[in-house]
Structure 1
Amino acid sequence: MMRSESEIESELSEESALIPRDVTEHQGSSHASFASSVFNIMHAIMGSGILGLAYAMSSTGIIGFSLLLLVVAILAAYSVHLLLELCEQTELTSYEDLGFYAFKTTGKVMVAGAILIQNIGAMSSYLFIIKSELPAAIAGFLHHNYIGTPWYLNGQILLLITVVCIVLPLALLPKIEFLGYTSGLSILFMVYFAIVVETEPVIVKKWFIPCPLFNGTMNYVQDFSSDECKPKLLQISAKSVYAIPILAFSFLCHTSVLPIYCELQRPSKSKMQKAVNVGITLSFSVYMLSALFGYLTFYGKVDSQLLHSYSQYLPQDVVIMSVRICILFSVLLTVPLIHFPARKAFKLLLFSNRPFTWLHHIAVTLVIQTAIVLLAMYVPNIQNIFGVVGSTTSTALLFIYPGLFYLQISGEPLKSLKKLKALGLIILGCLSGAVSLPVIIITWLHTENEA
């Protein structure tokens, strides 16, 4: 439905009165180069999801996974294209703003709620990595045999200590600018992980870990004629439903794209789209290598958290230990960064127009930190976090909302090619979530009952 200029101006003025000031004040505050924008997009894309991609390949086969990875990457780039189109049409600069423009308060709540759940899922996946990898890292350096588990090798105790001593103080900071140095360190650690994991442990160690693997131990007689050592090209099983949610979780950068667009030097839609395409293409390459060589190392026995597989079979390997330490530092320093947009979304839902108070600030921080710690402690497997969050909020933010907002805001005829594509994006996202989520929940409950 076409809107008049006066209606658009009226809605914009109404929106600017209701959307919190900190959503839009960043616009034009800095000028980032094209290269740094690509780097920021890659940093927004690449996170804990990279550790679940080899598991996704093992559940779908090499060809099946490759096709899914390519399709999700293309759709992610196209959904960003729709958001940039809407950004240009409405002159709005955040996902929440577009939600409000499209569906008033309902749209704002939809986006803020999805961002909150998505970020809680991401933070809990990071804390899950700390819980599972920090004890192994400490044990690797101590080289002792223990009777029982001492407290300093208990994942839950170590998780509580790191959250209380490091994550919580950083998350309580009032402004995200204070995390500039920790953000830089986190990026450096992630770059080291991306380089080393794709070369030494994944590509080189693939030839040092024999096949087949038996019952969690290595069989030192190579037998590549075994069915366990033959890669599956196409495979469908109950585990296959995790593939699309994991990929959606891994490619989600949409909440960061518009702020990055605002900071781009001489910003234009075509320039930003090019930066997004380059960032997604580079991330696609890293993801493909990580999944392929991780799968070809462990085949059907690959863990849902890739580093755990390497830690299990190469516990004292120096390179693996260094990668584990870097990942731990990276995720530890990333959690407070993700906490800021999560807290902003939480306040947007409950305290939309209220001024800043330390009471609200501390209370919201503690509520979110408690939620993510409980999830990290009691969710039995990281694939459950990827699956549930990926099939709901990731799918909504990646597929459904961009298409839905485009249908509502754009003045093109409903039968235009772009609106039909946007409708297809919505249908695909809804089908993906509707198929994946019930199977994931049933599988999760079945596993819990067997345990």
Structure 2
Amino acid sequence: MHIFLGDDDSVINSGNELWLTTVAGSNGEEEHDQQPAANGSSRLSAVFLIINAALGAGLLNFPQAFDQAGGIMTAVIVQVVLLGWIMGALLILAHCSDQTGARTLQEVLEGVYGRPGLIACSSAVALYCFGTCVTFLIIIGDQFDRVLSSLHGLDFCHYWYMNRNFTIVLSSSVFILPLCYSRRIDFLKYVSSVGVVTVVYVVILIVYQKYMGNFVPGPIKTSPTHWTDIFLVVPVICFGYQCHVSVIPVYACLRERNLNNFTLCASVAIAVCVATYTVAGIYGYLTFGSYVTSDVLESYSGSDILVLIGIVAVAIKTYTTYPILLFCGREAVSNLWANLLHDSESDVAVTERRRRITIATVWFILTLVLALLSPDIGSVIDILGSLAAIFIFVFPGLCLMQSTLHKDPHIILNKDKFVVLAAIIFILLGTFIFGVVFVQAAIRFYKKPPITVRLCI
């Protein structure tokens, strides 16, 4: 179990190299893999990893979210307000990671709350990452359906080699599964750069279609119909900017691990995400108005070669993001496995390797099966967005409060009183957002059950 350490105990500077101290692993094993900073990832690699973890299929939902929230101005204001909390949460988690010597989000919670914190956080991370991975595979199948229906015809799925069951299994086994066994998350820095490039293409495509697509938009809102409509954009924003599960492993692999470097990397990554989401949301909404669909690419003609490339780009982006979520989920399941089953193997390296391979393989197979059986993901992003609020607000708030109480149990200093108040606001705001968004998602699901429109006839 991690022990809460002071600021000076979390890292040791030796010459020009930064070494992480040896801390007890959350799986009951001692971490002896102290690696010099020279083996870590660069700032640019860390930026790409964070961007790739944050940017995803949520990009395609932003135009409709702008419509549901009551127009561009309302959605942008809500986004700006939430961004301050999102960035603050990233810095809090990094600070607590330094104090505890943690390398994952669940280890941060273990460092400040012990075993109960580890189990609660690991369960939430595993659930969120698993659900997201399932949606990624469904999205891959949807992109294949769009491309094949355009190139072959609407009877494409009657051919076994073009059926979505075959295309999902084959493509994910070739492009995703080999990337799921890496021990360190910075192994994915190269594929992350590819994922970022594909997203840039999709954004350029949305802007291009606004001026060259000759679309007639529906009514464009300038204010929300009901004030509660502003919360409809919250799950999309939370889901879109939720990289808090991934940033601690990225921070742990940073070559020069310190809060200043992390702040720079996180700021650049979030700035890129802001520009990407905002441009896609504004131009996508202005192109279609109230006629915009939940997946903005579905509103474009599938016969346009530029659109087909954009559809393929979304699939490629999904291939590059799935392994990052699986890595975080795999570590969470590994923590639960070790703590609940009380592993006590003598060969630590063999145990870790076997557990890593087993969890990754079973995880991939289960998500693949559920993706083949699940008909629709219409309400899944809303549910995942509500859960993302827990990672963005509640967990960082809990970490901030406990770390402050640890060094000042009686809250004597005025600075610590302010910090505790901020932590309470984080927790209350996150709980409120989670509750409101979850209830709204449940009501919308009940009133309008998800309907799957298949392209094959």
Alignment TM-score > 0.5, same fold: yes
Q: Pick from 46, 54, 73: which aligns with 2:63?
A: 54
Segments of structure 1 that go 5 or more residues without pairing to the other structure are 213-223
Q: Is the 8 A contact 2:48 2:193 kept in 1?
A: no
Task: Identify if the C-alpha distance between structure 1 residues 268 and 376 changes in structure 2 by more than 3 Å, giving closer, same or farther.
Answer: same
Task: Identify if the C-alpha distance between structure 1 residues 328 and 402 changes in structure 2 by more than 3 Å, giving closer, same or farther.
Answer: same
Matched residue, 1:364:
359
Q: Pick from 200, 203, 224: which aligns with 1:198?
A: 203
Matched residue, 1:111:
121
1:91-118 Cα offsets, whole Å, 9 max, x none, are: 4443222211222111001221122112
Q: Is the 8 A contact 2:60 2:294 kept in 1?
A: yes
Matched residue, 1:184:
190
Per-residue deviation, 1:289: 0.4
Task: Identify if the C-alpha distance between structure 1 residues 380 and 17 changes in structure 2 by more than 3 Å, giving closer, same or farther.
Answer: closer
Q: Pick from 36, 39, 42: which aligns with 1:30?
A: 39
Per-residue deviation, 1:347: 2.0
Q: Pick from 253, 258, 267: which aligns with 2:248?
A: 258
1:384-421 Cα offsets, whole Å, 9 max, x none, are: 221111102x1111110010111112234286112211
What are the residue-to-residue correspondences of 1:1-400 with 2, within 5 Å?
15-16=24-25, 18-20=27-29, 28=37, 30-60=39-69, 61-142=71-152, 144=153, 146=155, 149-164=158-173, 166-168=175-177, 170-171=179-180, 173=181, 175=183, 180=187, 184-188=190-194, 190-199=195-204, 201-212=205-216, 228-236=218-226, 241-310=231-300, 314-352=301-339, 353-354=342-343, 355=345, 356=351, 364-392=359-387, 394-400=388-394
Matched residue, 2:17:
none
1:417 correspondence with 2:418:
yes
The amino acid across from 1:111 in the alignment is: C
Task: Identify if the C-alpha distance between structure 1 residues 241 and 208 changes in structure 2 by more than 3 Å, giving closer, same or farther.
Answer: same
Deviates more, 1:44-53 or 1:330-339: 330-339
Q: Distance in 2 between matches of 1:93 and 1:27?
A: 15
The alignment's C-alpha RMSD in Å is 3.4
Task: Identify if the C-alpha distance between structure 1 residues 107 and 361 changes in structure 2 by more than 3 Å, giving closer, same or farther.
Answer: same
Q: Is the 8 A contact 1:130 1:328 kept in 2?
A: yes
Q: Is the 8 A contact 1:119 1:339 kept in 2?
A: yes
User: Alignment length, in residue pairs?
Assistant: 422
The amino acid across from 2:304 in the alignment is: D
SS in 1 for 2:39: coil
Task: Identify if the C-alpha distance between structure 1 residues 46 and 120 changes in structure 2 by more than 3 Å, giving closer, same or farther.
Answer: same
Matched residue, 1:401:
395
Task: Identify if the C-alpha distance between structure 1 residues 41 and 161 changes in structure 2 by more than 3 Å, giving closer, same or farther.
Answer: closer
The amino acid across from 2:390 in the alignment is: A
Task: Identify if the C-alpha distance between structure 1 residues 168 and 35 changes in structure 2 by more than 3 Å, giving closer, same or farther.
Answer: closer
Q: Distance in 2 between matches of 1:380 and 1:23?
A: 45
Q: Distance in 1 between matches of 2:127 and 2:52?
A: 20
SS in 1 for 2:233: helix
1:407-449 Cα offsets, whole Å, 9 max, x none, are: 1122342861122111111111000011111221232133228
The amino acid across from 2:278 in the alignment is: M
- Calculate percent identity across the aligned residue pairs: 19
Per-residue deviation, 1:183: 5.6
Task: Identify if the C-alpha distance between structure 1 residues 242 and 361 changes in structure 2 by more than 3 Å, giving closer, same or farther.
Answer: same
Segments of structure 2 that go 5 or more residues without pairing to the other structure are 10-20, 346-350, 453-457
Per-residue deviation, 1:31: 4.0
Q: Distance in 2 between matches of 1:367 and 1:335?
A: 15
Task: Identify if the C-alpha distance between structure 1 residues 276 and 4 changes in structure 2 by more than 3 Å, giving closer, same or farther.
Answer: closer
Q: Distance in 1 between matches of 2:183 and 2:99?
A: 30
The amino acid across from 2:141 in the alignment is: K
Task: Identify if the C-alpha distance between structure 1 residues 449 and 249 changes in structure 2 by more than 3 Å, giving closer, same or farther.
Answer: closer
Task: Identify if the C-alpha distance between structure 1 residues 25 and 299 changes in structure 2 by more than 3 Å, giving closer, same or farther.
Answer: farther
Higher helix residue share: 1
Q: Is the 8 A contact 1:242 1:383 kept in 2?
A: no
1:254-284 Cα offsets, whole Å, 9 max, x none, are: 2332333334344332332232222212211
Matched residue, 1:220:
none
Per-residue deviation, 1:146: 3.8
The amino acid across from 2:50 in the alignment is: I
Give the TM-score normalised by structure 2.
0.80
Matched residue, 1:443:
444
Per-residue deviation, 1:78: 0.5
Per-residue deviation, 1:450: 8.6
SS in 1 for 2:325: helix
Task: Identify if the C-alpha distance between structure 1 residues 245 and 5 changes in structure 2 by more than 3 Å, giving closer, same or farther.
Answer: closer
SS in 1 for 2:236: helix
Q: Distance in 1 between matches of 2:254 and 2:246?
A: 12
Task: Identify if the C-alpha distance between structure 1 residues 29 and 384 changes in structure 2 by more than 3 Å, giving closer, same or farther.
Answer: farther
Q: Distance in 2 between matches of 1:237 and 1:253?
A: 28
Task: Identify if the C-alpha distance between structure 1 residues 336 and 89 changes in structure 2 by more than 3 Å, giving closer, same or farther.
Answer: closer
**Higher RCO structure, 1 or 2 (CA under 8 Å, sep 6+):** 1
Q: Distance in 2 between matches of 1:196 and 1:284?
A: 16
Q: Distance in 2 between matches of 1:165 and 1:5?
A: 43
